[in-house]
Structure 1
Amino acid sequence: MGDSSTAPAKTSKDETTTMISSSGWFSGAVTAVNKFWEIMRHGPTVSKDQLVDRLVDGGWLPHFLLRMGIQREFRLRAREIASPNLEAAMARKMGFIEELRASDIAIHTDAANQQHYEVTTGVMAAALGPRMKYSCCLFPTGKETLAEAEDKMLDSYVDKMGFEDGMSLIDIGCGWGAAVLYFAERFPNSRVVGFSNSRTQREYILKLAGENGIKNITVFTGDAATADFGENLYDRMISCEMFEHVKNYDRMMIKAARALKPGGQFLLHIFCHKDTPYHFSEGWMSTHFFTGGTMPSADLMLYFQQRDFKIAKHWWIHGRHYNQTIEAWLANFVANKERVWPYLIEMYGEENAAVWFNRWQVYYLACAEMFISDDGNTYGVTHMLFEKTKN
């Protein structure tokens, strides 16, 4: 979306929350329409994108209207990426793969850090579950709490990798430490290493480890695109929703294979489209939250196995699991308005706190609607277990 020609009107903390999260459809719609005409009267040359930016940033659109607009955008996206036949679809995918192979390992990494990984921990803690797992959780019955769903997904990693006490593990893109803290605590005789591109994440993980007496954990920081993860060091490797920020998977997989011992296994967790990969190259999401990002297809990484890897197993996780995860994050974020507000001011400045309170809500709404589109059968999560060959 384009930039507004004038700054959005300032909105109070209480007013912002009331407007954007209003459950009364009639009052919310009336408010949005009134604000629409107010903006148009004062700025008749405002473009559609600028108008939407102002309405979103000002918190004038209730959630049900935002969901309707988001659903419309996903219908348009589906038409944009659709191919007329299988021949055209395959040609398009192979062209995309060749483009990735010619790319740098990652692009716009500074933007990704600013948008997510260097965000003040208090902003994320207001939304995420108790383990601070910033990736899809697992709801087998649909009735789990977010805390239970975090543990269900972490348990599944152990089972899928066949992890045992005494093994060594590295988590590439470890976030706020959900997996590394879990593995280190559950397997006290194991050596657990986290790699993050964020100083604040490292500080948070080590603080929690110290408070809980966890001593078998190390966290390194750096740029995953240029970092050296070592050679033949680890029995297991995991990466959860970091590869969506990668472009050249060939080069990244070479680094991953080199770090594993012969026979070691790499569990890759990525969100994805069922069959069509694409770039986040423009639009509101790319501008504010996913600059330089990639939407992989469920099979994309199968085209980037190096000679040192073979695919051992491949799973699909239905989109409803991520939808439930993000709906829980959104509910927490709105409910924790008072708690998160000082951190929004710390991160974005007092003049922009309300804007970013609204933007984070729209981000969660957009992601939740994406994963439940087509009843959760178009977007989901895939787990791939790669095994390093012993040659």
Structure 2
Amino acid sequence: MTSANAFPTLQKYLPITGDINLKTPIAYKATRGAARVVDALQMALAEVYINGLEIPDSVFRSMIHTSMPILFKHSPGLLAPYDWVLEESSGIAESSRELMKVQYDRPQAMLNRMLGDWDVIYPKYSTGFWQNGAANLEEAQRHMIDQVIERLGITDGDHILDFGCGWGCVPNYILSKFPNVRFTGLNLSHEQCEYMRHKMQDPNSYLSSGRFTLYEGDLNEAQFDEKFDKILSIGVFCHVGNLTNAFQKLASLLRSGGKVFIHIITVRIPNHMSSGFTHKYIFPHGRYWNYDAVPHHNRDLKTIDRWYMNGTNYHKTLTDWLERFDANQESIQHLEYGMDYAKFRRLWRFYLLLLGTIFATCDGEYNGNGQYLMVHA
């Protein structure tokens, strides 16, 4: 055996380094233990920051830029602190009601200022696309939706399901482009649905055109009178624990010859990724699926094309959100957050700083967005 071939074989016996999926039982167990140690260190940093430790943003970012390339390139198994991160869960979604409470049902005034709220581009809690030369966040979000339109092949007259439609930004923008498109939005967040119901009564909103229908509920329970020409889902699948069951449900809602477009945060490492901090405070039971996970699930839907969106796009988006969040402190600090505002502010800053910096590491080549075009298998 040559030395070039020997090291990959040797790696299965070594803990911490290499692909955790190939480890011997002893090396796997040791790697899982090391992952818990790494997660405990991140949690300790998060807790002291949230509780008042002053760390300059530049120092914080330097710490992330130093550590994450080592983990991405050499020890990706350490980025999965829980066993459930590595495999599918039993249900389509876990902790979904808790997720609405801690993330999506925060004060609308705060979210509007952080995410942006314009005439056609409503608050949108997913990345903008900056690589086409966007000058600002609103333009980056327009470019991102234009990319979805092109890759999904939306044509006038389509009936489209938006699974997890947020505040209705994507349907509103696409309805403004196509006078005969119809949209159905499916959303579990009551507060987001209330925002859209208000827009559905606003004559200046395309959601009031009569071509938008809103369904408040989850994918498991959703029933519709007709099948859809196109289905899109932006960012939701980080909160979906079982791709097999979710794709089976989406396939049942898709007409023959229809197409599904999924846009998710993804990692180009051998395993899926999460963290104790995001699980506890930001995205309960959320995970970033490995870039190959969606194409691997091809029982009911199959991937016919896919794209990787470089993580620098999300880095710029999160950096913009952080700057907007910081700039609006005077107007948002008196809103109701369910905790002392000073603590909430530090928790939110840690979240925006951490994720925004991780996306920028390794020139955005390891942590970014995956986009998948799917049809019936």
TM tier, shorter chain? Answer: 0.7 to 0.9
Q: Deviations over 1:164-217 (max 9, x none)?
A: 221101111111111111122322322211111111101112222322253211
Judged with a 3 Å threshold, the aligned counterparts in structure 2 of structure 1 residues 59 and 194 are, in CA distance, closer, same or farther, namely: farther
Counterpart Cα distance in 2 of 1:267 and 1:98: 24
Letter in 2 for 1:222: G
1:261 — aligned with what? 255
- When the two chains are superposed, the root-mean-square deviation of aligned CA atoms in Å is 2.5
Deviation at 1:378, TM superposition (A): 0.7
Say whether residues 1:383 and 2:371 are aligned partners. yes
Work out whether residues 230 and 258 of structure 1, in 8 Å CA contact, stay in contact via their aligned partners in 2: no
Q: Distance in 1 between matches of 2:91 and 2:310?
A: 31
Aligned to 1:347: 337
Alignment of 1:71-150 (within 5 A): 71-72=65-66, 74-75=68-69, 77-78=71-72, 79-81=74-76, 99-100=87-88, 103-130=90-117, 131-150=122-141
Q: Does 1:291 align with 2:278?
A: no
Verify: 1:217 aligned to 2:212, yes or no. yes
Pair 1:189 & 2:180 matched: yes
Cα deviation digits, residues 54-105 of structure 1 (max 9, x gap): 333326222122223334553564354259xxxxxxxx9xx989931x6222
d(CA) in 2 for partners of 1:49, 1:98: 20
Shift of 1:228: 2.4
Structure 1 residue matching 2:201: 3-state secondary structure: helix
- C-alpha contact 2:238 2:287 (8 A) present in aligned 1: yes
Give CA deviations for 1:91-140 in whole Å, capped at 9, x if unaligned: x9xx989931x622222222211221222212211211332111111012
Give, in whole Å, the separation in 2 of the partners of 1:60 and 1:298.
Answer: 36
Q: Quick one: which amino acid aligns to residue 250 of structure 2?
A: A
Distance 1:388 1:221, change over 3 A: same
Q: Find out whether 1:323 has 2:315 as its counterpart.
A: yes
Determine the structure 1 residue equivalent to 2:163: 172
Pairwise CA distance, 1:312: 2.2
CA distance in 2, matches of 1:134, 1:386: 23
Q: Distance in 2 between matches of 1:52 and 1:303?
A: 34
Does structure 2 conserve the Cα–Cα contact (< 8 Å) formed by 1:168 and 1:236? Answer: yes
Partner residue in 2 for 1:245? 239
Residues 181, 205 of structure 1: 8 Å contact kept = no
Q: Which residue is equivalent to 1:230?
A: 224
2:344 to 356, 369, 377: 356
Alpha carbons 1:269, 1:382 under 8 Å: kept: yes
2:251 alignment partner AA: A
SS in 2 for 1:237: strand
DSSP-derived class of the 1:132 partner:
coil
- 1:314 matched to 2:306? The reply is yes
Amino acid at match of 1:365: L
Query: Does the aligned pair in 2 maintain the 1:311–1:385 contact within 8 Å?
Result: yes
TM-score w.r.t. structure 2 length? 0.79
| Structure 2 residue aligned with 1:158 | 149
2:289 matches 1:301: no
SS at structure 2 position matched to 1:66 = helix
Task: Quote how far apart the aligned CAs of 1:341 are.
Answer: 1.4
User: Could you tell me which amino acid in structure 2 is paired with residue 328 of structure 1?
Assistant: D
The answer to which of 171-180 and 72-81 deviates more is 72-81
SS of the equivalent of 2:334 reads helix
* C-alpha deviation, 1:371, in angstroms: 0.8
Report the Cα distance in structure 2 between the residues aligned to 1:311 and 1:353, rounded to whole angstroms: 44
> What is the alpha-carbon distance in structure 2 between the residues aligned to residue 114 and residue 72 of structure 1?
33
Q: What is the match of residue 35 of structure 1?
A: none
CA contact (8 A) 1:231 1:258 kept: no
**Number of equivalent positions:** 325
User: What TM-score does the superposition give when structure 1 sets the normalisation length?
Assistant: 0.77
CA contact (8 A) 1:319 1:381 kept: yes
Distance 2:361 2:53 in 1: 24
Deviates more, 1:160-169 or 1:180-189: 180-189
What are structure 1's unaligned runs of at least 5 residues? 1-46, 84-91
- Residue type of the alignment partner of 2:282: F
